[in-house]
A and B are shown apart, each in its own frame.
Chain A
Amino acid sequence: MNQYLKQFLHRGLLFGGFGPIVVGIVYGILEKTLPDFSLTGIQVLLAIVSTYVLAFVQAGASIFNQIEHWSIAKSLFFHFGSLYLAYVSCYVLNTWIPFQMNVVLIFTAIFVVLYAVIWGTVYGIIRLTSRKLNQKLAQQ
């Protein structure tokens, strides 16, 4: 099996379980705060399965950034694309957002902005670290 596929599956299996835990916590809070909050068995099952898949993809997708022979653009495209597809399908399947063009567009815009902010923050932190490490390296 391709080593990257193996790592994708490995990471996905390691962290996939966190999705249903998070959705369980959110549903727990909603049940306590909303007096008429209720879910059918199918809705719960769908939420568990879809958030497992979502967490699985999110964890596994980190491997795209480590495939050396891929260009940065290709890595980012696959990373962003897989996350976006996983998120949008999970939200639509669970009817957390309605399947309407304008809503999906707003969701996409928010997703792009958040992705860019998180990416920028991580990039900035790593850049600072690499600068400090290079200074130390030069001193040695």
Chain B
Amino acid sequence: MKCTIVIDPNKPEEVIVHVHKHTQLADEIRALCNQNDPYLIGYKDREACHLNIQDVLYFAVENNHVNAVTENDCFRVKSRLYELESRLPSAFVKIHQSCIANLKKVKCFSTSLAGSLQVIFVNGDTDFVSRRQVKHVKERLGL
């Protein structure tokens, strides 16, 4: 793939990738670019505000809307969960179909008596890791 870097302080920084088809490399380039953008627009009471991605404990789908949950607050995000998944830093991992967790904000994992792997976040919120996603969570933590 041809790669050209143009240094021009007068233009906004932007990366445009021309590919023949959707590839993993394209996804990786996009994820890499987005890692440098630590902010996200969240909405609360019809007001938009900048959310620092690192402050988000998890993104969860509720009533067909994606919510970004921080330690003390909850904001609605306009992106879809799969869109977020591709642009979030590597600390974020999908734990089940409707939730992406920030591993840096996970207090601990525990076992529920119901036989599922539970995630306990630093604010006390809990969720579970689906069987399908356990493998990905382990990989992300280097197991």
| A and B from one complex | yes
Q: Is B111 at the interface (CB under 8 A from chain A)? A: yes
Top 6 A-B pairs ranked by shortest CB distance?
A65-B114, A136-B141, A130-B109, A72-B113, A122-B115, A133-B109
Q: Could you list 26 A-B pairs, sorted by A, with CB under 8 Å?
A: A64-B114, A65-B114, A65-B116, A66-B128, A72-B113, A72-B114, A75-B114, A119-B115, A122-B115, A123-B113, A123-B115, A126-B111, A126-B116, A129-B138, A130-B108, A130-B109, A132-B138, A132-B143, A133-B117, A133-B141, A133-B143, A136-B141, A136-B143, A137-B106, A137-B108, A137-B109
Interface string of A119-140 (1 = CB under 8 A from B): 1001100110110111011001
Q: Which residues of A contact B142 (CB under 8 A)?
A: 136
The number of residue pairs between A and B whose CB atoms lie closer than 8 Å in the complex comes to: 57
Are A129 and B126 CB-contacts (below 8 A) given A65-B115, A66-B114, A72-B113? no
* Minimum distance in angstroms from A123 CB to a CB of chain B: 5
Q: A136-B141, A137-B141, A140-B104 are in contact. List 8 more A-B contacts (CB 8 A).
A: A72-B112, A130-B108, A132-B143, A133-B138, A133-B141, A134-B108, A136-B143, A137-B108
Q: Which of B115-143 contact A (CB under 8 A)?
A: 115-118, 126, 128, 134, 137-138, 141-143
Interface string of B60-88 (1 = CB under 8 A from A): 00000000000000000000000000000
Q: Which applies to chain A's interface (DSSP): helix, strand, loop or mixed? A: helix
Interface string of A54-97 (1 = CB under 8 A from B): 00000000001110100010011001000000000000000000
